[in-house]
Structure 1
Amino acid sequence: MGNNDTEEAIQCWVCKKFFDYPCSGITEIGYRKLGDRQATWKCATCKHVQGAKKQPGSPVPSPTSLSMDTVMAELTKLSLQLQPLPELFKDIHCIKSDMAALSTSTQELISRIDRLEKRIDNIESVSDAMPELRVAITQLQEQIDEQDQWLRYNNIEIKGVPVKHNENLKEKNYRFVWVKHSKLFLRKNETSPVLSIKAEKDLTKVK
């Protein structure tokens, strides 16, 4: 075939020879239908030669078998990479267990803190009420002393008891001393204030 006819001929991809459609054994329409397979078209001679080289019963290597080998190799690599996963799962399980225990401890600690805060609030409430309680106790003690004085209203009066040093009210310039409703009252003169002696602590008022 001349060089001018190569533009309308087809080339065998094995022997690289050009053939026109009548000699190639394929029509122009059939060749066009090959599409991408045009690049691997073989002439009748090359097909015969390759067919004779094949042994009966021998497997024909194909791109598919090569791809399977590649896939198996990749799977092997992936399997090796996934080997640490069981240990990783164990570590994750241990971490989850530790987190659960920590959460429980935290809740217990929060409960203890709440109880302590309530106790502190109760103590503070009692501390705030202490002044009022002291005043109430003092008032109750005065009432008890007053009632005790009333109970002694009919007691026998004893006279002639020896006077000790600093017990004589006259020496302290108290001119008026009297008892009324079982209570002792003192007064230095007509214009001085009256002292009421209800309990032993009131003796400190006597100067």
Structure 2
Amino acid sequence: MFTCARCNNTCNDGAKCSDCNQFLDFPCSGITEAGYRRLGDRQKTWRCNTCKTAGSSPRAASSSQITEVLNEIRAFRSDFLLMKSDVQETSVGIQALNTKWSEMETRFSDMEDRLIQVEAKLSSIPKLQKQLDVANDEINTLKSENNNRDQYSRMNNLEISGVPYYKGENLFSIF
């Protein structure tokens, strides 16, 4: 009792292929029961139609295999070409990123230089503030002293009003 490899029917009797070792019932095997019985000892070398076709025409089998291989190579080639274009696009993208990265590095370097300059100027602000405070105190002192001197110099000044003035007269002689 076996199951036919082609039609999956359960059978009591059939032929066994010597190449693929599959059991086939007589209708699927392509041989009659009487013909198979007449083979006698040659039943051990009997082959099914599939194995006969593959074995009897090696060129046909190899031709189909070559066709399959060529198809696979073509598919691989098209996949490779797609990958190649993807790699080229990626390469262009990476180059653009590298360019942008270089620009960003330059900008950051410039910003860092400016920041260093600003920090240097900021660190001098307290010192300048102290100098400004000292200068303002000194200016106020000098103004006060100047005002006091002006007041002192005018302390003995006398102003006379109501006396007519004529052109060419000497006030000191008149006084």
> TM-score, structure 2 length as denominator?
0.49
Per residue, is there more helix in 1 or in 2?
2
Q: Rg bigger for which structure? A: 1
> TM-score, structure 1 length as denominator?
0.43
